[in-house]
Structure 1
Amino acid sequence: MIDYKIARYCCFSIICVFSIANHIKADEYKSSNRMIEEVMVVAQKREEKLQDIPISVQAFSENRLEAMGITSIADLQLVAPGMNYTETSGFGIIYIRGVGSDTFLMGDPNVATYLDGVYLPFAVGQNQELFGLERIEVLKGPQGTLFGRGANGGAINIMTKSPSLTESEIQLELGYDSLNTTQTKAYFSYPIVDTLAMSISASYKSGDHWYDEESTGGGEKLPQVSSQAMRVKLLWTPVDELELGLSYMQSLEQGTSSGLQGNSEPSLLAQVVGITPQTGYTVDNDVPVYYHANNKIMSFTGLWSGENHDYKFLVSRQDGSPMGLFIDFDGAPQPVAYFGTSNGAVNEVKTAEVQMISANEGLFGSNVRYNFGYYWVNWVSALDPVFLGLLGIDLSTGVQNSTLSLPAGFVGLLDSLLEPLLGFGTPSGAVRLVGRNTLDSHALYAQTSIDFLDDFTFTVGVRYQEETRTLDESSSSLGDSNIEPVVFIQKYEDIEDEVKSTKPKIGLEYRPPFLDEGMIYASWQQSIKGTQFNLINIYDPPEMILPEEMDAIELGIKTSPFGAGSVFNFAYFKYDIENLQVQFVSLLQGGAVTQENAGGAAIEGFEFEFQTLLFPSVIDNLVLIANGTMLTTKEYTEYLNGSGFDPNTGLLSTGNDFSGNEIARAPDATGTVGISKTTEVPGGSLEIGADYYYNSGFYYLAQNSEKSVEDAYTVLNARVSYFYQPANLRITLYGRNLQGTEYNYGRFHVDFGTADYKAPRDIIGLKVNWQF
């Protein structure tokens, strides 16, 4: 249940601040604090002011992100309460307001991520460094009508800078921190001719891992954590009404990712083979833990500005893959089991979108605004050792270069399990698995907002979607990893499932005069996440899990209580979810990964966002922020036949009733309190800021076992920067997790116990930003 002491404290704090700041109007004073900015967003597929849209959105400009020390997607959870970021086996898992999906292996996320309008469905390489940004929008709650497929939990829009046709711009950032990390970010924009401009963005980062120096993988020191990325954009305006854009981006990541893990709570099975607990920041894995991801994105966009309508189109091609991924499955120095793919996985994603958006007076006057669009996505995700780099999982008794190697004692246990199912036990060579599936989705969507009675707006929207998912192949076979398979254990091909859906949205806004440009709003909508196939099985048929469907209600208020620069937003939300999709990992249940449906789930809660200039008539540029999300209900209302691990032995347990349990990865409460002060000093300004993040903790597994708990934790970050105005130069000294809080980016639960992937401890760094 929710910690009501925390809820009462947050509400009391807000009341106190309102009382202190009562009748002080911040718009009477000009702020140079980077936390106070008016941000334009495209959360409804058209450019609007953040406070003018009837949905819960947090938006962060490049300046604000830099002021708050946000450098990656994972960092966003520290400033966007309700968002929870974790990692498993190199895959990023994002939840918003308790809604998300841990079906990370070739499954769709519940929080859709977009980069310049391009949908990024694959979770590997998602936690990349942010650079060359215009803004980031975090849309909370289902976004089924406009942002479509799978966005049951919300959406994250990342918008990068476009080239300027009028002036050149250069930005450079250099940094170094206490992990011996060096970082360089650069942005260059140049108008080639009056109608053509180009920009180049680049980022490079390399440093030591935050684990202790004694940590090893395969007897070797941990590799450095590094990332490189580059983006090129072209903007061409052949006529005044037309803008054409071309963008290409490539990013590379290397290191360990969450493949590095220490077994902190070995199961009985693990103890039998000699595994002892590894806790803290010293870990010893018996395989050379390695992670290498390569993502490429190309897109072509167009905008025609007509008299009554704007017409937009976008086509994109995305190729992403972990080119190498090795994970010590048991998280221990004993050679028990490890998972790896030397050739990598392949994800080929193609999208296309066409929109018609009302502009100016439109066809029906300025009181009617509407969007119409068509969206298509084709996604091939594959794991194989052949051309497409699909997955190869080898199960052997010691074959060189096999990817899942087991000792003789454990092989004997597998023999007893496989013999009744297959007619033979563990092969003397290897078992290799191959998986590939294809998604093809088409959607039509429309949304209209109508102003009436001066102060009211009615919104109605609908999305029709036809989605076909095809299991192209799921097979396991006998044979060494270096030779062709000789005998198939199981092989399934060309299994197809089609889902057609029509999902509506209805909303109402009221802008009462007493709210001073604020609004009260209510909305109801439905959304859907389609069928999923599980392809990674040794001896079980591939599972197909049903579509996940959601009903959502939201009531909210948006205000600027003390004028410009102040914000107080509040939202109540209630979700009913049917056939919640869940993933479970166990070598003894089919072989590695199992997917299943929880029959139903319910989530209810509220959140607030507060920001104001404190005592503006007395103190210049002192900004307070306080945000929080509380979940009063977050349970599986029906979850029969759930998979888990015995709490005493750690062995596989099936047929469990998890009804009434808390939803996984859903904290009761998350919140941030921050303060920022800008002071004019000789030559420029001095900026001091700090923020304090709280997470009440959560379960990683639906069974809510004690071994799947992430305890409550806090994170304190602080910054001080000097801006030298004549040279447009900023020097920043920062500290991250200054308390040295020990918490996890992820916990991986398998037959051998619980393996932890720790988040970084305290880091001190210095960076220099220069713009001209």
Structure 2
Amino acid sequence: MQAKRIHPLALAVMSVFAAPGHAWAQQTDGAAQDGSADKIETIVVTAQRRLERLQDVPVAVKAFSQKQVEAMGIQSTQDFINLTPNMSFDNSFTYGNSFVVLRGVTQINNADSPVAVVVDGVPQNNQKQLKMNLFDIERIEVLKGPQGALYGRNAIGGAINIETKAPSNKRDGFAAFEAGNGGLKEASAGLGGALVDDTAFYRIVGQTKKFDGLIRNTYTGRNVDAVDHDNSLRARLLFKPAAGLAIDLRASYVDFEAGATWDSIAVKNRPDLIRPPRSNINGETTGTTRDFSAKVSYELPFATLTSISGYTRLNEDYRGDVEFSNPVDTPGGFLGFGFQAGQGQNLAVRMVSQELRLTSADEGPLRWIGGIYYLGTKRDLLTRAFIDTDSSHGQFDDMAKNLVNLNEANDNTAKAAFGQLDYDLAPGTTLSGALRYDRDERRQQNLVDHSRRQASYAKWQPKLTLTRKFNPEVLGYATFSTGFRSGGFNSPGNANFRPETLTNGELGMKTSLLDNRLVLNAAVFRSRSKDFQFFYVNTATASQIISNIDRVNLTGFDVDFRYLPMRGLEFDGGVGYTKGEIRANRAEPSTIGHHTPKNSPLKINLGVQHTRPVAPGLEGMARFDYEYRDKKYWHPDNAAVSPSLNLFGLRLTLRDARDAWSLTLAGQNLGDKRYYADFNSGQYSGLPYDIGSLAAGRTYTLTFKARF
């Protein structure tokens, strides 16, 4: 019998996961016998606007510590969302565009996000700010279920808290270099420490990235997902000039140039049949984001006063094909008019925000939070379609070739007041009540015909939670919560879309078992959404439209776990299930009983990680990740359904035992699954055919990181 050849990658995995040497085995056995086996680290989160242990917070939270961020290779928003059950993230159409779905609540074009995103305590108020590169990260928290009472109108599906590494007295830094397939080259570095011991601190970090791409346009022969550059710079200054006073100043800058509009013409309602892009215009996105914030906290005798001020200036422009074809495949031209066509958009957003918050001390039977919030947004959007004669991007500015010219200025003023009370009814039993009032005032001016329109949207968002700590290791909770996503304007000449409201009932349990070597958390929920928002393109007017589905029910559960059976070996993962069902839809009555748009009912994550000494002063770590994504239902008619996916990832790391340096070989989507990250059938795309936006296939990287 011929011996089967073992793949070198499999040999590498086996070498790390294989039974350790005799000395290490004796050490592990001894630890188990004397009860000193490793325990799961304690993670502290700010889910309820104050520092608390993860296991004490009556909210379904998927948290990633700094240790996990490093071990799991989390370097982008996509990475940690891939590891989070009941959540998905897809990047399509432009480099900065993204679609997040959390417990069935979806993000759509040109609307507020369904997930509040907060970085270092500062809200990120635009949809384009969710997609980000993550480096020098302290902690990530994903809060599931509506969090409107504390986080406001963009938290209808949940919230994401990201904490970067704060400066301190200790002077430290890092430098990392990464190379991968597709010509990936990435470098990052950072340095922090004290300017004046115990009084003034700094931290500055930066990253640059270049990528030749992996998705080939078979008509032009160029890669559509190439990144010419993606540069980020972030700086923090922390001052503690007096006892109880802290001033945290933060500035960041992002500049990128990358691909856009890489959709392919797909087979009718068949997302399982993959076709490469064949546009004659290679799309391009350029953009910059500037963020400045000041967070000031002062400890009063009875509470802590916190002021958070933020300013953001965001620009994103794209140019690309509008029919996603070429003169050879479609000699009749765009919609049979005899010519090819292109499209483009210039987006400019300026935002100013201010929050004032009072937070009581953590001790005592009664604890409270109260605050006010303001957000002012100016959003200018220029959208054009043009006759394409030479495949160049400059045709966007040639008015002689103009087909569609939409130019609008939008102003939005949002104001809110919020508060929360926690009262200990008895030892281990707490009743919490929270309430928020949000009001949005929106104004739009058509800069072509100078017409104006305005509207306002307001909502009370209550939350009530009963928490019972049965013993130090087991906590249970019951929650009723609400969320709100504002209504707004479609492009000039199209009707407004209505605000979306969501009510949620939830039961949860958090447990720490086996002497804190097993953490198992679970929650079941049932939500009802009124005027569920979704997006499509109107075929008759070629307008991008946000519309509403009258009523949607969302029912499901979340399970998360971490388990350390022995020193150096860890299992982690979870299961998330959401059944999204359309219950009323006047616009499309035939869709009643269907799955909600962009929902994938079931998601399973499993990670296995093993660390062991491999030589004096050296450690090896192998981590294997598995992700199962259920079928995805793209539209209310449920005609286009993507098949389920099984995705595999592997990380092999060699590092100094004192963590002075590390070398990591990593691979994602090892099975090289090809699938559409976004799919729009002809009924909803505004075109006489379906289009799909391809996700990248297999990727692998080699990373060296040094710490000093």
TM over 0.5: yes
Residue 661 in 1 paired to residue 597 in 2? no
Residue 160 in 1 paired to residue 164 in 2? yes
* 1:180 CA displacement: 1.9
CA distance in 2, matches of 1:58, 1:435: 39
1:310-321, aligned counterparts within 5 Å? Answer: 310-321=304-315
Residue 432 in 1 paired to residue 439 in 2? no
* 1:31 CA displacement: 3.1
Q: Match for 1:29 among 30, 36, 47?
A: 36
8 Å CA contact retained: 2:421, 2:432: yes
CA distance in 2, matches of 1:764, 1:262: 25
1:494-509, aligned counterparts within 5 Å? Answer: 495-509=453-467
8 Å CA contact retained: 1:26, 1:564: no
Letter of the aligned partner of 2:156 in structure 1?
N
* Aligned equivalent of 1:80: 84
Q: Match for 2:543 among 592, 611, 623?
A: 592
* Aligned equivalent of 1:181: 184
Q: 1:25 to 1:747 in 2, by over 3 A?
A: farther
User: Number of paired residues?
Assistant: 657
Q: Over residues 67-94 of structure 1, what are the superposed CA-to-partner deviations in whole Å (9 max), with x where a residue is unaligned?
A: 1122111122321111111234222111
8 Å CA contact retained: 2:259, 2:283: yes
* Aligned equivalent of 2:498: 546
CA distance in 2, matches of 1:185, 1:26: 43
* Aligned equivalent of 1:374: 372
Letter of the aligned partner of 1:601 in structure 2?
V
Residue 196 in 1 paired to residue 203 in 2? no
* Aligned equivalent of 1:629: 576
8 Å CA contact retained: 1:284, 1:332: yes
8 Å CA contact retained: 2:674, 2:694: yes
8 Å CA contact retained: 1:125, 1:294: no
Q: 1:589 to 1:110 in 2, by over 3 A?
A: farther
* Aligned equivalent of 1:144: 148
* 1:119 CA displacement: 2.3
CA distance in 1, matches of 2:575, 2:490: 36
* Aligned equivalent of 2:10: none
8 Å CA contact retained: 1:394, 1:433: no
Q: Over residues 179-205 of structure 1, what are the superposed CA-to-partner deviations in whole Å (9 max), with x where a residue is unaligned?
A: 221111112102111211111110111
CA distance in 1, matches of 2:465, 2:622: 41
Q: 1:160 to 1:610 in 2, by over 3 A?
A: same
CA distance in 2, matches of 1:281, 1:28: 57
* Aligned equivalent of 1:611: 562
* 1:124 CA displacement: 2.9
* 1:96 CA displacement: 0.5
Q: 1:504 to 1:125 in 2, by over 3 A?
A: closer
CA distance in 2, matches of 1:605, 1:221: 40
8 Å CA contact retained: 2:376, 2:414: yes
Q: Over residues 615-635 of structure 1, what are the superposed CA-to-partner deviations in whole Å (9 max), with x where a residue is unaligned?
A: x2xxx221111301112x311
Letter of the aligned partner of 1:392 in structure 2?
T
Q: Over residues 41-71 of structure 1, what are the superposed CA-to-partner deviations in whole Å (9 max), with x where a residue is unaligned?
A: 1110111111110000111123211211221
CA distance in 2, matches of 1:743, 1:429: 34
8 Å CA contact retained: 1:27, 1:564: no
* Aligned equivalent of 1:332: 325
8 Å CA contact retained: 2:552, 2:584: yes
Residue ranges of structure 2 left out of the alignment (5+ in a row)? 1-30, 328-332, 335-339
* Aligned equivalent of 1:388: none
Q: 1:727 to 1:509 in 2, by over 3 A?
A: closer
CA distance in 2, matches of 1:82, 1:338: 39
CA distance in 1, matches of 2:205, 2:619: 27
Q: 1:589 to 1:66 in 2, by over 3 A?
A: farther
Q: 1:26 to 1:571 in 2, by over 3 A?
A: farther
Residue 251 in 1 paired to residue 202 in 2? no
1:344-423, aligned counterparts within 5 Å? Answer: 344-361=346-363, 366-383=364-381, 391-396=382-387, 401-403=394-396
Q: Helix, strand or coil for the counterpart of 2:81? A: helix
Residue 764 in 1 paired to residue 700 in 2? yes
Q: 1:27 to 1:255 in 2, by over 3 A?
A: farther
CA distance in 1, matches of 2:193, 2:701: 31
CA distance in 2, matches of 1:550, 1:563: 39
8 Å CA contact retained: 2:504, 2:525: yes
Q: 1:131 to 1:339 in 2, by over 3 A?
A: farther
Q: 1:339 to 1:446 in 2, by over 3 A?
A: farther
Q: 1:379 to 1:523 in 2, by over 3 A?
A: same
* Aligned equivalent of 2:295: 301
8 Å CA contact retained: 1:314, 1:353: yes
* 1:230 CA displacement: 0.3
Residue ranges of structure 1 left out of the alignment (5+ in a row)? 1-23, 268-276, 384-390, 406-425, 476-487, 643-655
* Aligned equivalent of 2:422: 449
Q: Over residues 524-547 of structure 1, what are the superposed CA-to-partner deviations in whole Å (9 max), with x where a residue is unaligned?
A: 022211112102x5xxx2321111
CA distance in 1, matches of 2:185, 2:436: 46
* Aligned equivalent of 1:98: 104
Q: Helix, strand or coil for the counterpart of 1:440? A: strand
Q: Match for 1:492 among 419, 426, 451?
A: 451
Letter of the aligned partner of 1:695 in structure 2?
R
Q: Over residues 661-696 of structure 1, what are the superposed CA-to-partner deviations in whole Å (9 max), with x where a residue is unaligned?
A: 110111110010111111123213211110100001
Q: 1:243 to 1:30 in 2, by over 3 A?
A: farther
Q: Match for 2:173 among 165, 170, 174?
A: 170
Identity %: 23
CA distance in 1, matches of 2:85, 2:422: 29
Q: Over residues 616-660 of structure 1, what are the superposed CA-to-partner deviations in whole Å (9 max), with x where a residue is unaligned?
A: 2xxx221111301112x3111111224xxxxxxxxxxxxx63222
1:522-533, aligned counterparts within 5 Å? Answer: 522-533=478-489
1:205-284, aligned counterparts within 5 Å? Answer: 205-212=209-216, 215=218, 222=224, 224-225=226-227, 226-257=229-260, 259-265=261-267, 280=274, 282-284=276-278
8 Å CA contact retained: 1:231, 1:250: yes
CA distance in 2, matches of 1:181, 1:40: 35
Q: 1:694 to 1:675 in 2, by over 3 A?
A: same
Q: 1:222 to 1:612 in 2, by over 3 A?
A: closer
8 Å CA contact retained: 1:394, 1:404: no
* 1:439 CA displacement: 1.2
Q: Helix, strand or coil for the counterpart of 1:524? A: strand
* 1:733 CA displacement: 1.1
Q: Match for 1:678 among 592, 611, 620?
A: 611
CA distance in 1, matches of 2:618, 2:560: 31
8 Å CA contact retained: 1:552, 1:575: yes
* 1:281 CA displacement: 6.7
* 1:580 CA displacement: 0.9
Q: Over residues 422-464 of structure 1, what are the superposed CA-to-partner deviations in whole Å (9 max), with x where a residue is unaligned?
A: xxxx998644111221111111100011112212110001001
CA distance in 1, matches of 2:224, 2:554: 41
CA distance in 2, matches of 1:729, 1:95: 36
Letter of the aligned partner of 2:188 in structure 1?
K
Please, what TM-score do these two structures have when normalized by structure 1? 0.81
* 1:590 CA displacement: 2.9
Q: Match for 2:668 among 726, 731, 736?
A: 736
Q: Over residues 538-576 of structure 1, what are the superposed CA-to-partner deviations in whole Å (9 max), with x where a residue is unaligned?
A: xxx232111111110010000012222421011000001
Q: 1:659 to 1:205 in 2, by over 3 A?
A: same
8 Å CA contact retained: 2:534, 2:597: no
CA RMSD of aligned residues (A): 2.6
CA distance in 1, matches of 2:355, 2:531: 29
